[in-house]
Amino acid sequence: MVQGNAQRRFRPLVQRFANLYRRPSHGGGALAVYLDGEPVVDVWTGFADAHGRVPWERDTASMSFSTTKGVVSTVIHRLVDRGLLAYDEPLATHWPAFDVEGKREVTLRHLLSHQAGLHRIRGVIASAEDLLDHEHVAEVVADQMPHHPLGGGTAYHGLTFGWLVAGLVKRVTGRGLREVVATELAEPLGLDGCWIGAPHDQWHRVAELFPPMPRALALDRIGGRVERTRSTRYLAEALLIDGFERLVFHDPERRILSTEMPAANGVFTARSLAKIYAALANGGCVDGVEVLSPETLHEAGRVQNRNRDAVLGLPMRWRLGYHQAFTLGGRPAWKAFGHYGYGGSGAWADPETGLSLAFVTNRLGSVTTPMGDVRLPRLSSAALGVVRRRR
């Protein structure tokens, strides 16, 4: 049974959402939508564990992988608004690791649009266990030299993005990114679940992720083969780390929630994500809080590169920290942007319609990619269909 509230006209969207969770083995999830800065859908259903025993509740949150990048990018844009950062300023201005030959020209714009050439994590970090020391990882990642794809395209900084952003934030604010997300977004907007990792006293709210990838496709087994294949070498370099699957799915201590992995281990409720993006869909403001100035919002949402991404193999139309919001069913939204994540979660804003949508879930799709699966694009198309029919 779906719980929560939704305006009647969004009934087709809620029904599509409900159909994702017909059995306990399907897990659970939550869906939230804002229109013109007002909440119009806030629903949840299913189970927060792999055995169908723990119901998904109103305050259940889920680790949402790369969806995290959109949230931390919004924090970066707030620091730009404050004058602490500038898009075309070299990172070397703040971070000595970049003040060397070959990296002095790397700017914040390059980093946010995945053009910094610092996508590599495989071979830079020996194993997933090393990721738990996030401050050390930030330094190691920043010390590598750029490696750009041929043709001047982008290479998705699938994991390194978060530590590079966190390191930069630490140098301009003196605070860790977990704290800055709280003070810049969660507290001003009154969000009920928006963390990098999660406070230990909130772990009981965090849904159990399942199932792990089929063993035949496990990263620990395919990493070497992918790395040796020319067409997928960038994918391996950016995303495959020995032991990552064990750390995420098979660690009884849930240490993944303790560290700061700001490209991947954000923990969110759908309504928190939808509210952040509601501001981005409506001139930078929601509930009387200015999240971004109109000028900064315009620059953040402007397409930076239209080439095929070397890691993902798709033209992502990268903005500054966001990508094109993908849809299915013949309803493209070319001005909509946000960030989707491995496992299916994601959120986006569409300035053209004033719509924002967020979806979180604990069940990985049967066919998933670094940018999720078909569930969120289908939900997105359904929501856009409702709004466009009424306008």
Active site residues: 66
Q: Which amino acid is at 212?
A: P
CB 273 within 8 A of CB 65: no
Q: Which residues pair with 6 in a beta bridge?
A: 41
What is d(CA 358, CA 242) in angstroms, rounded to the nearest whole number? 31
CB 67 within 8 A of CB 282: no
CB 132 within 8 A of CB 264: no
In which element (H, E) is residue 178 found?
Answer: helix 177-181
Q: Name the phi and psi angles at 340, rounded to 5.
A: -95, 165
**Ordered alpha helix ranges (H), the chain:** 11-18, 67-81, 108-112, 134-143, 160-173, 177-181, 187-189, 219-228, 233-239, 244-249, 270-281, 294-300, 375-389
Angle subtended at Cα 67 by Cα 326 and Cα 257, rounded to the nearest 5 degrees: 155
